[in-house]
Structure 1
Amino acid sequence: MTSTRRNTAVAFFDTFKTLSVQDAISIRTPTCRHIFTPASISPPPPLDNAQFAAHISRLKEIIASFPVTTKEISEDQEKNQVIIWATAQAEFHTELKDAGISDEEWAYKGEYVFILTMDETGQKIDRVVEFLDSKATERLRELMARARANK
Protein backbone atom coordinates (compact mmCIF):
# COMPACT_ATOMS: atom_id res chain seq x y z
CA MET A 1 0.00 0.00 0.00
CA THR A 2 1.33 3.42 -0.96
CA SER A 3 1.53 6.01 1.81
CA THR A 4 0.31 9.59 1.61
CA ARG A 5 3.93 10.78 1.97
CA ARG A 6 5.02 8.67 -0.98
CA ASN A 7 2.09 9.91 -3.09
CA THR A 8 3.07 13.50 -2.28
CA ALA A 9 6.67 12.78 -3.31
CA VAL A 10 5.47 11.34 -6.62
CA ALA A 11 3.27 14.41 -7.17
CA PHE A 12 6.32 16.61 -6.49
CA PHE A 13 8.30 14.85 -9.21
CA ASP A 14 5.37 14.97 -11.62
CA THR A 15 5.53 18.79 -11.51
CA PHE A 16 8.93 18.65 -13.23
CA LYS A 17 7.39 17.02 -16.33
CA THR A 18 5.37 20.14 -17.08
CA LEU A 19 7.26 22.71 -14.98
CA SER A 20 3.88 23.99 -13.83
CA VAL A 21 4.43 26.64 -11.17
CA GLN A 22 0.88 26.22 -9.90
CA ASP A 23 1.26 22.46 -9.49
CA ALA A 24 4.67 22.80 -7.83
CA ILE A 25 3.45 25.32 -5.26
CA SER A 26 0.15 23.53 -4.59
CA ILE A 27 1.87 20.62 -2.84
CA ARG A 28 4.07 22.82 -0.62
CA THR A 29 3.21 24.36 2.73
CA PRO A 30 3.17 28.18 2.86
CA THR A 31 6.48 28.08 4.78
CA CYS A 32 8.23 25.48 2.61
CA ARG A 33 11.93 26.00 1.92
CA HIS A 34 13.88 24.43 -0.94
CA ILE A 35 17.57 23.93 -0.14
CA PHE A 36 20.12 23.07 -2.83
CA THR A 37 23.36 21.38 -1.88
CA PRO A 38 26.36 20.60 -1.83
CA ALA A 39 28.09 23.86 -0.99
CA SER A 40 30.94 22.98 -3.39
CA ILE A 41 28.79 23.97 -6.40
CA SER A 42 27.87 27.39 -4.97
CA PRO A 43 24.13 26.73 -4.94
CA PRO A 44 21.58 29.51 -4.55
CA PRO A 45 20.39 30.30 -1.03
CA PRO A 46 17.31 28.44 0.25
CA LEU A 47 14.19 29.36 -1.73
CA ASP A 48 10.80 30.17 -0.27
CA ASN A 49 7.69 29.47 -2.35
CA ALA A 50 7.77 32.76 -4.26
CA GLN A 51 11.46 32.31 -5.05
CA PHE A 52 10.92 28.68 -6.05
CA ALA A 53 8.03 29.72 -8.32
CA ALA A 54 10.33 32.28 -9.98
CA HIS A 55 13.02 29.60 -10.34
CA ILE A 56 10.59 27.23 -12.10
CA SER A 57 9.34 30.08 -14.33
CA ARG A 58 12.93 30.86 -15.40
CA LEU A 59 13.57 27.18 -16.13
CA LYS A 60 10.38 26.94 -18.21
CA GLU A 61 11.64 29.74 -20.47
CA ILE A 62 14.41 27.46 -21.78
CA ILE A 63 13.44 23.93 -20.74
CA ALA A 64 10.26 22.25 -21.98
CA SER A 65 10.36 19.43 -19.45
CA PHE A 66 12.64 18.12 -16.72
CA PRO A 67 11.29 14.62 -16.04
CA VAL A 68 12.54 12.87 -12.91
CA THR A 69 12.94 9.10 -12.75
CA THR A 70 13.04 7.54 -9.31
CA LYS A 71 15.76 4.94 -8.77
CA GLU A 72 15.04 4.30 -5.11
CA ILE A 73 12.58 5.69 -2.58
CA SER A 74 12.41 5.19 1.15
CA GLU A 75 10.42 6.66 4.01
CA ASP A 76 11.34 7.71 7.51
CA GLN A 77 8.05 7.63 9.37
CA GLU A 78 9.56 9.06 12.56
CA LYS A 79 10.91 12.14 10.75
CA ASN A 80 7.94 12.29 8.36
CA GLN A 81 10.34 12.26 5.41
CA VAL A 82 10.70 10.63 2.03
CA ILE A 83 14.21 10.14 0.64
CA ILE A 84 14.55 9.68 -3.09
CA TRP A 85 17.51 8.80 -5.28
CA ALA A 86 16.67 9.83 -8.82
CA THR A 87 17.85 10.87 -12.24
CA ALA A 88 16.50 13.73 -14.30
CA GLN A 89 16.90 14.88 -17.86
CA ALA A 90 16.51 18.44 -19.08
CA GLU A 91 14.65 18.67 -22.36
CA PHE A 92 15.50 22.07 -23.80
CA HIS A 93 13.10 23.90 -26.11
CA THR A 94 14.05 22.76 -29.61
CA GLU A 95 14.21 26.29 -30.99
CA LEU A 96 16.82 27.24 -28.37
CA LYS A 97 19.24 24.48 -29.35
CA ASP A 98 21.84 25.68 -31.81
CA ALA A 99 23.81 23.56 -34.24
CA GLY A 100 27.07 24.43 -32.51
CA ILE A 101 26.77 21.28 -30.39
CA SER A 102 25.16 17.94 -31.12
CA ASP A 103 21.79 16.73 -29.88
CA GLU A 104 23.67 14.26 -27.68
CA GLU A 105 25.47 17.17 -25.99
CA TRP A 106 22.14 18.95 -25.46
CA ALA A 107 20.81 15.80 -23.74
CA TYR A 108 21.63 16.65 -20.13
CA LYS A 109 21.11 13.94 -17.53
CA GLY A 110 21.91 14.29 -13.83
CA GLU A 111 21.63 12.28 -10.66
CA TYR A 112 19.99 13.61 -7.52
CA VAL A 113 19.01 12.81 -3.96
CA PHE A 114 15.99 14.55 -2.46
CA ILE A 115 14.94 14.64 1.18
CA LEU A 116 11.33 15.75 1.43
CA THR A 117 10.01 16.61 4.88
CA MET A 118 6.22 16.61 5.00
CA ASP A 119 3.65 18.42 7.11
CA GLU A 120 1.71 16.44 9.70
CA THR A 121 -0.78 15.20 7.08
CA GLY A 122 1.87 14.00 4.64
CA GLN A 123 0.00 15.83 1.87
CA LYS A 124 2.22 18.91 1.72
CA ILE A 125 5.98 19.34 1.58
CA ASP A 126 7.44 21.59 4.25
CA ARG A 127 11.13 21.29 3.34
CA VAL A 128 13.10 20.07 0.33
CA VAL A 129 16.80 19.28 0.46
CA GLU A 130 18.06 18.62 -3.06
CA PHE A 131 21.54 17.15 -3.49
CA LEU A 132 22.63 18.11 -6.99
CA ASP A 133 24.94 16.13 -9.24
CA SER A 134 27.96 18.43 -8.95
CA LYS A 135 29.67 17.42 -12.19
CA ALA A 136 26.48 17.32 -14.25
CA THR A 137 25.20 20.59 -12.75
CA GLU A 138 28.28 22.34 -14.09
CA ARG A 139 27.36 21.11 -17.58
CA LEU A 140 23.69 22.02 -17.08
CA ARG A 141 24.65 25.59 -16.20
CA GLU A 142 26.64 25.81 -19.46
CA LEU A 143 23.71 24.48 -21.49
CA MET A 144 21.25 26.81 -19.77
CA ALA A 145 23.47 29.82 -20.49
CA ARG A 146 23.73 28.75 -24.12
CA ALA A 147 19.96 28.29 -24.42
CA ARG A 148 19.33 31.71 -22.83
CA ALA A 149 21.77 33.30 -25.28
CA ASN A 150 19.85 31.66 -28.14
CA LYS A 151 16.53 32.98 -26.86
Structure 2
Amino acid sequence: MASTRLRTAEKYISHFATLDKALLESLLADSYRHEFAPISLNAPGPFTKTGFMAHGAGLADIMNGFPVTAKEHFECEASNSVVVWATSEAHFREELMDPGISREEWEYRGEYVFMFTMDEGGEKIVRTVEFLDSASTKERLLGLMARARANLEKVQGKGIDSLKHVE
Protein backbone atom coordinates (compact mmCIF):
# COMPACT_ATOMS: atom_id res chain seq x y z
CA MET A 1 0.00 0.00 0.00
CA ALA A 2 1.30 3.45 -0.94
CA SER A 3 2.27 5.86 1.80
CA THR A 4 0.33 9.06 2.40
CA ARG A 5 3.20 11.15 1.00
CA LEU A 6 3.31 9.07 -2.18
CA ARG A 7 -0.48 9.32 -2.63
CA THR A 8 -0.21 13.10 -2.18
CA ALA A 9 2.50 13.30 -4.86
CA GLU A 10 0.40 11.13 -7.19
CA LYS A 11 -2.63 13.41 -6.70
CA TYR A 12 -0.48 16.45 -7.47
CA ILE A 13 0.76 14.83 -10.69
CA SER A 14 -2.84 13.88 -11.60
CA HIS A 15 -4.13 17.46 -11.27
CA PHE A 16 -2.32 18.44 -14.47
CA ALA A 17 -4.62 16.30 -16.64
CA THR A 18 -7.42 18.84 -16.25
CA LEU A 19 -5.57 21.60 -14.37
CA ASP A 20 -7.94 20.95 -11.45
CA LYS A 21 -7.61 24.06 -9.30
CA ALA A 22 -9.58 22.67 -6.34
CA LEU A 23 -7.47 19.51 -6.17
CA LEU A 24 -4.22 21.47 -6.40
CA GLU A 25 -5.29 23.89 -3.69
CA SER A 26 -6.22 21.01 -1.37
CA LEU A 27 -2.71 19.53 -1.69
CA LEU A 28 -0.63 22.64 -1.03
CA ALA A 29 0.29 23.80 2.47
CA ASP A 30 -0.40 27.43 3.30
CA SER A 31 3.38 27.96 3.47
CA TYR A 32 3.89 26.31 0.04
CA ARG A 33 6.85 27.33 -2.13
CA HIS A 34 7.35 26.31 -5.78
CA GLU A 35 10.62 26.72 -7.65
CA PHE A 36 11.45 25.97 -11.28
CA ALA A 37 14.88 24.73 -12.28
CA PRO A 38 17.35 24.97 -13.86
CA ILE A 39 17.98 28.63 -13.22
CA SER A 40 19.37 29.02 -16.76
CA LEU A 41 15.78 28.94 -18.07
CA ASN A 42 15.01 32.16 -16.24
CA ALA A 43 11.58 30.70 -15.41
CA PRO A 44 9.08 32.63 -13.29
CA GLY A 45 9.01 32.28 -9.54
CA PRO A 46 9.65 31.23 -6.94
CA PHE A 47 5.97 31.10 -6.11
CA THR A 48 4.00 31.07 -2.88
CA LYS A 49 0.80 29.01 -2.77
CA THR A 50 -1.20 31.99 -4.03
CA GLY A 51 1.29 32.71 -6.79
CA PHE A 52 1.40 29.10 -7.95
CA MET A 53 -2.39 28.89 -7.99
CA ALA A 54 -2.41 32.00 -10.23
CA HIS A 55 0.23 30.39 -12.46
CA GLY A 56 -2.02 27.31 -12.81
CA ALA A 57 -5.01 29.50 -13.65
CA GLY A 58 -2.94 31.11 -16.40
CA LEU A 59 -2.20 27.68 -17.87
CA ALA A 60 -5.91 26.84 -17.75
CA ASP A 61 -6.62 29.96 -19.81
CA ILE A 62 -4.69 28.49 -22.75
CA MET A 63 -4.81 24.72 -22.16
CA ASN A 64 -7.46 22.10 -21.52
CA GLY A 65 -4.86 20.10 -19.67
CA PHE A 66 -1.20 19.31 -19.36
CA PRO A 67 -1.27 15.60 -18.54
CA VAL A 68 1.79 14.45 -16.63
CA THR A 69 2.65 10.77 -16.46
CA ALA A 70 4.99 9.44 -13.80
CA LYS A 71 7.73 7.17 -15.15
CA GLU A 72 9.32 6.47 -11.77
CA HIS A 73 9.06 7.74 -8.24
CA PHE A 74 11.50 7.69 -5.36
CA GLU A 75 10.35 8.08 -1.80
CA CYS A 76 12.42 9.01 1.23
CA GLU A 77 10.81 8.55 4.62
CA ALA A 78 13.72 10.21 6.47
CA SER A 79 13.28 13.53 4.62
CA ASN A 80 9.51 13.08 4.14
CA SER A 81 9.94 13.62 0.41
CA VAL A 82 9.07 12.13 -2.96
CA VAL A 83 10.84 12.58 -6.28
CA VAL A 84 8.89 11.89 -9.47
CA TRP A 85 10.44 11.53 -12.92
CA ALA A 86 7.69 12.23 -15.44
CA THR A 87 6.68 13.08 -18.99
CA SER A 88 3.95 15.41 -20.17
CA GLU A 89 2.03 16.67 -23.15
CA ALA A 90 0.38 20.04 -23.56
CA HIS A 91 -3.23 20.14 -24.73
CA PHE A 92 -3.74 23.68 -25.97
CA ARG A 93 -7.29 24.94 -26.32
CA GLU A 94 -8.54 24.21 -29.82
CA GLU A 95 -9.82 27.73 -30.36
CA LEU A 96 -6.35 29.15 -29.65
CA MET A 97 -4.46 26.95 -32.11
CA ASP A 98 -4.26 29.21 -35.14
CA PRO A 99 -3.48 27.82 -38.60
CA GLY A 100 -0.21 29.78 -38.80
CA ILE A 101 1.61 26.67 -37.63
CA SER A 102 0.78 23.02 -38.19
CA ARG A 103 -1.19 20.86 -35.80
CA GLU A 104 1.94 18.80 -35.21
CA GLU A 105 3.83 21.91 -34.15
CA TRP A 106 1.14 22.62 -31.53
CA GLU A 107 1.86 19.23 -29.96
CA TYR A 108 4.36 19.47 -27.13
CA ARG A 109 5.84 16.69 -25.04
CA GLY A 110 8.27 17.29 -22.21
CA GLU A 111 10.15 15.58 -19.44
CA TYR A 112 10.30 16.68 -15.81
CA VAL A 113 11.57 15.84 -12.35
CA PHE A 114 9.46 16.97 -9.40
CA MET A 115 10.99 17.05 -5.93
CA PHE A 116 8.26 17.24 -3.26
CA THR A 117 8.78 17.95 0.42
CA MET A 118 5.72 17.11 2.54
CA ASP A 119 4.33 18.31 5.83
CA GLU A 120 4.68 16.04 8.85
CA GLY A 121 1.60 13.97 7.97
CA GLY A 122 2.47 13.70 4.29
CA GLU A 123 -0.92 15.12 3.27
CA LYS A 124 0.26 18.58 2.18
CA ILE A 125 3.15 19.63 0.00
CA VAL A 126 5.27 22.39 1.52
CA ARG A 127 7.82 22.69 -1.29
CA THR A 128 8.21 21.63 -4.90
CA VAL A 129 11.31 21.98 -7.02
CA GLU A 130 10.32 21.29 -10.62
CA PHE A 131 13.12 20.56 -13.07
CA LEU A 132 11.91 21.42 -16.55
CA ASP A 133 12.97 19.91 -19.86
CA SER A 134 15.17 22.93 -20.45
CA ALA A 135 15.95 22.63 -24.18
CA SER A 136 12.41 21.71 -25.16
CA THR A 137 10.83 24.27 -22.83
CA LYS A 138 13.01 27.09 -24.12
CA GLU A 139 12.89 26.10 -27.79
CA ARG A 140 9.21 25.13 -28.07
CA LEU A 141 6.90 25.35 -25.09
CA LEU A 142 7.47 28.99 -24.18
CA GLY A 143 6.86 30.04 -27.78
CA LEU A 144 3.68 27.99 -28.04
CA MET A 145 2.41 29.42 -24.77
CA ALA A 146 3.13 32.99 -25.91
CA ARG A 147 1.36 32.33 -29.21
CA ALA A 148 -1.68 30.83 -27.45
CA ARG A 149 -1.83 33.82 -25.05
CA ALA A 150 -1.68 36.26 -27.97
CA ASN A 151 -4.44 34.29 -29.70
CA LEU A 152 -6.49 34.37 -26.49
CA GLU A 153 -6.26 38.16 -26.49
CA LYS A 154 -7.45 38.22 -30.10
CA VAL A 155 -10.35 35.89 -29.33
CA GLN A 156 -11.37 37.96 -26.32
CA GLY A 157 -11.07 41.20 -28.26
CA LYS A 158 -12.62 40.29 -31.59
CA GLY A 159 -14.56 37.07 -31.17
CA ILE A 160 -13.61 33.52 -31.97
CA ASP A 161 -13.66 33.90 -35.77
CA SER A 162 -10.69 36.27 -35.61
CA LEU A 163 -8.18 33.39 -35.56
CA LYS A 164 -9.28 31.92 -38.85
CA HIS A 165 -7.30 34.61 -40.65
CA VAL A 166 -4.17 34.68 -38.47
CA GLU A 167 -0.94 33.76 -40.25
Same fold (TM over 0.5): yes
TM-superposition CA deviations, 1:67-111 (whole Å, max 9, x none) = 001111010111000001001111000010011111111111110
Please give the residue correspondences for 1:1-151 in structure 2 after superposition, counting only pairs within 5 Å.
1-138=1-138, 139-151=140-152
- Find runs of 4+ consecutive structure 1 residues off by over 2 angstroms: none
SS in 2 for 1:78: coil
Unaligned runs of at least 5 residues, structure 2: 153-167
CA distance in 1, matches of 2:4, 2:45: 29
How big is the shift at 1:19?
0.9
CA distance in 1, matches of 2:64, 2:36: 22
SS in 2 for 1:18: coil
Note the aligned Cα RMSD (angstroms).
0.8
TM-superposition CA deviations, 1:45-73 (whole Å, max 9, x none) = 21001101110111100011000011110
How many residues are aligned here? 151
CA distance in 2, matches of 1:58, 1:143: 14
Q: Quick one: which amino acid aligns to residue 87 of structure 1?
A: T
Q: Which moved more, 1:81-90 or 1:12-21?
A: 12-21
Length-normalised TM-score, structure 1: 0.97
Length-normalised TM-score, structure 2: 0.88
CA distance in 2, matches of 1:49, 1:10: 18
How big is the shift at 1:3?
1.0
How big is the shift at 1:23?
1.4
